[in-house]
Chains A and B, each alone.
Chain A
């Protein structure tokens, strides 16, 4: 590292850093770390009235929650949700990223505006798709019939699996451009002359993708898989506003169950216990994914 001018030498750095970080880190401590510790405390108590601490209940809440089928059912639904989103988003985003990595007229504009679906509010995404999928005036049913994919209008939220599929597709529609932009960054890091060399050696487009693009994209895909898993596990609003966990619990993921337990049934202790278990699972999963799939820590 280059030597620094004396006016901002190392001695004063520590003090300045402390002054600068006090506010941002203080806020994060107060609104992230304290609540996380507090969640553990709440999960050990029997809270009946909001604002009261409630008597200490030990692991009662955990025992009740973990022996109740609804928690495991919701966990299963969450797994389907996370995996479904990962698969659909990866396919859509990779396709989009490969397209945006090409040179064609308008590509610069496309690279910025593709993210449009991500900047609009979730509630608007919900309105858009509820209407497009609705039997009265929705465009999707007539379009699918015209294309010969279905022969009569279908209910996109009529059954659990149908609702889950619709939700995954809608959420992926919202998120795939974000993932695509990240993948595009990974693609642009691959030096163009590798492709040139491969092309000279007679490798076709598919062979080049399999031998160069796919392996070299792995580190980016890994980070995005971990990030995407955490992000989609957390998704609440789109599910809540479209199906509220229904029909018959078919789309009731863990966040939806926790929300209902806390703010509809007012069982704060149980909800906190579920959320603590969920966090442990998520952090564990993130660590395993990073450890298993990561080739080597690249540093920062």
Chain B
């Protein structure tokens, strides 16, 4: 549709407002993590740094437990993403490629799982894990993260399975390839966008998870970033420089990951929503 000059103006202003709303806070935090402490807490804040220092990063990496938290989070988030992808692929193939009795009912049941407040299962999970000795282990966090990511991942998988014509697999079958050969050589390579979408979703969800990590992990050496960072907030006489540096470094991995596969994630989100 044609857009007049007024239309362009309104659109441009709206886009600018949107960009400002999303990016201005990130810009301020990112740039301020390089400012000297007195500039950070200056009564008149600056949009552009007037000073430059690496002291906050130095302190963060050398004297705080941040590197430990960071590595723990990478380990937990990567394992959670890996397991979620495998399980979502298995479930996806069963739900969207096979015919069996009770399929629709099972699928709905999984989706209903989201109606329950996660706080409901926090207490039982804590007591259950205490009994079987899973408290204070990475495995506990991976199990919980996969549980929360899996239903949504299966839901997203539907779009990606639906986008692949069954004829491809049928053609492979006619050529004499068995079921598993078809899956491994035809289906999985074509599902790569879906796998990327699920991987980033599960990774981000685990990277952010605070509630269960705060309860299931006890020793400081096993803390993940969200709980560790929140400890740093309270631990010191608020050291904003340190916190801003920590915040910036915590965002970095997900942003890098997202830069590579973000578009597949958004595609999974949007196309899944309309079907």
Contact = CB atoms under 8 A, between A and B. Distances in A.
B25 A129 contact: yes
A35 B240 contact: no
Given A34-B128, A99-B15, A112 B229 contact: no
A80 interface: no
A286 to B, nearest CB: 5
B269 A181 contact: yes
Interface in B30-65: 32, 40-45, 47
B116 A279 contact: yes
A279 B40 contact: no
A14 B100 CA distance: 5
B184 to A, nearest CB: 14
Contacts of A178: 269
Nearest to B262: A112
A2 interface: yes
Contact of B173 (A8, A255, A263): A8
Interface of B: 1, 3, 7, 11-12, 14-15, 18-19, 21-23, 25-26, 28-29, 32, 40-45, 47, 87-88, 90-91, 93-94, 98-101, 103-104, 106-107, 110, 113-128, 130-131, 143-144, 146-147, 150-151, 154, 166-167, 170, 173-174, 178-179, 200, 204, 207-208, 210-211, 215, 225-227, 229-230, 233, 240, 243-244, 246-247, 250-251, 254-255, 258, 262-263, 265-266, 269-271, 273-275
Interface of A: 2, 4-5, 7-8, 10, 13-14, 16-18, 20-21, 23-25, 27-28, 31-32, 34-36, 38-39, 42, 50-51, 95-96, 99, 102, 104, 110-124, 126-132, 134, 136-139, 142, 173, 177-178, 181-182, 184-186, 188-189, 192, 195-196, 199, 205, 220, 223, 227, 230, 233-234, 236-237, 240-241, 254-255, 258-259, 262-263, 268, 271-272, 275-276, 278-279, 282-283, 286, 300
